Amino acid sequence: MALLTPASWLKGLVAFLYPAQCRICQGSLSLEPRPYICNQCWEQIEFCGAQDTTSNWPGCRRSRSVTFYLPILREAIFLLKYEKKQVMAKHLADLLLQHPPSDFNFADYDLYVPIPLHKKRQRQRGFNQAELILKAVAKTRFLPIRTDLLARVKNTAPLSQLTSVDERIGNISGAFQLRYPEQIKDLRILIFDDILTTGTTLKEAVRVLEQGEPEYIEILTLSKTSSTEVEPPYTY
């Protein structure tokens, strides 16, 4: 049996005396394997399986999502993006590692491209959540991640401030710029983002990456809104 170190003993004592509460059910977290959300709640996350969410998007061969954007997953993403709890990136990455779409294969892509944030937004947040999750996955899977190919050159308004599809399309139009287009010719590219809502951001990213003439482009998001789910209150 492994001996407890002073640090782990103290951590256990503090957790016993002052147990944290689950952000979903307010139950005691005690010594849960992850912070903020208890096992019982975490196990209620709903997965998409092999569902293809593409709606005839020009240039995109296929789009998949791992989970549905329902309250538990929404809270986990909120903790990462808005409360800056970067430890959640590992646990969100675990969802992709442990529950990938059944027809998804990490080896099917030459490049993984996270949707970038504008430099002003990234300075405010301190990190890009899509990049952080991908890099957490890359600790156990080799992922050729490129963060320098797609640049966000327009500081778009938060999606929550836009009420119509036309507003969202106008907002994202011209937001991205492709750098080093010659480096993606005939390559297999996967675009990754944390949430798929209306798809306007991802469609624009596909359109811009197509300029480099890759073999194909596919999309993977950690979560997507279900057909019955209203627009998420937390967006870029």
pLDDT per residue as tens digits for the range 129-185: 999 999 999 999 999 999 999 999 887 766 655 566 666 666 677 889 999 999 999
Query: Token pair for residue 169?
Result: 């399309």
**Alpha carbon distance 183, 211 (integer Å):** 11
- pLDDT of 87-96, one tens digit each? 999 999 999 9
CA gap 27, 103 in Å, rounded: 36
Separation between Cα atoms, residue 185 and residue 168, nearest integer Å: 29
What is the C-alpha separation between 154 and 120, in angstroms, rounded? Answer: 10
pLDDT band at 54 (very low <50, low <70, confident <90, very high): low
pLDDT band at 57 (very low <50, low <70, confident <90, very high): confident
Residue 28 DSSP class: B
In the chain, what is the straight-line distance between the N-terminal and C-terminal CA atoms, in Å?
47
pLDDT at 29: 86
| Mean pLDDT confidence for 51-75 | 85
Q: Answer whether 9's CB lies under 8 Å from 17's CB.
A: no
For residue 236, pLDDT beyond 50:
no
Helix residue ranges, H only, the chain:
6-17, 39-42, 71-81, 88-98, 119-125, 129-138, 165-172, 200-209
pTM of this structure: 0.84
Q: Read off the pLDDT band of 197 (50, 70, 90).
A: confident
Closest CA to 73 of 98, 103, 101, 95: 95
- Of 27 and 49, the one with more pLDDT: 27
* pLDDT over 60 at 226, yes or no: yes
Average pLDDT, the chain: 85
Strand pairing of 150-152 and 188-196? unpaired
| Residue 20, pLDDT above cutoff 80 | yes
Helix (H/G/I), strand (E/B), else coil: 118: coil
Could you tell me if 184 and 214 are in contact, meaning their C-beta atoms sit under 8 angstroms apart? Answer: yes
Q: Which of 154, 129, 134 is nearest to 146 (CA)?
A: 134
Q: Is the pLDDT of residue 227 over 90?
A: no
Report strand pairing: 216-224 vs 188-196: parallel
DSSP label at residue 231: P
> Would you say residue 60 has pLDDT above 70?
yes
Q: How confident is the model at residue 228 (pLDDT cuts 50, 70, 90)?
A: very low
- What does the DSSP 8-state code read for residue 21? B
CA distance 221 to 219: 7
User: How would residue 235 be classed by pLDDT, with cut points 50, 70 and 90?
Assistant: very low
Distance CA 184, CA 150 (A): 11
pLDDT recorded at residue 204: 92
